[in-house]
Amino acid sequence: FDGPAEFKRQLLLQKNRFLRGFTEKLLSYALCRDLEYFDERAVGKIVQAAAQDDDRLSRILVEIVKSDQFRKVRTTH
């Protein structure tokens, strides 16, 4: 891509792919671990819920916090 405008256009052409990757990174950060194959279902649910709310970041964050993965995270402290 050539510049910010082209970058934005490319992101919009692959919106679902971007949202899924973005959600995966946020969930991984929230869990303090890499995602595993069993996390894919949660990622799908989060992305689907966000899509129903105009792909809002706030909805992605709420859905991450509501996920079993986040609520049942183990700490080593």
Summarised one tens digit per residue, pLDDT across range 35-65 is 999 999 999 999 999 999 999 999 999 999 9
Mean of pLDDT over the chain: 93
Please state, in angstroms and as integers, the Cα–Cα distance from residue 9 to each residue in 22, 35, 51, 52, 54, following that order. 17, 28, 19, 22, 18
Helices (H) and strands (E) in the chain, counts: 5, 0
Q: pLDDT digits over 7-16, tens only? A: 989 888 999 9
Q: Within 10 Å of residue 42's Cβ, how many Cβ atoms?
A: 21
- 58: helix, coil or strand? helix
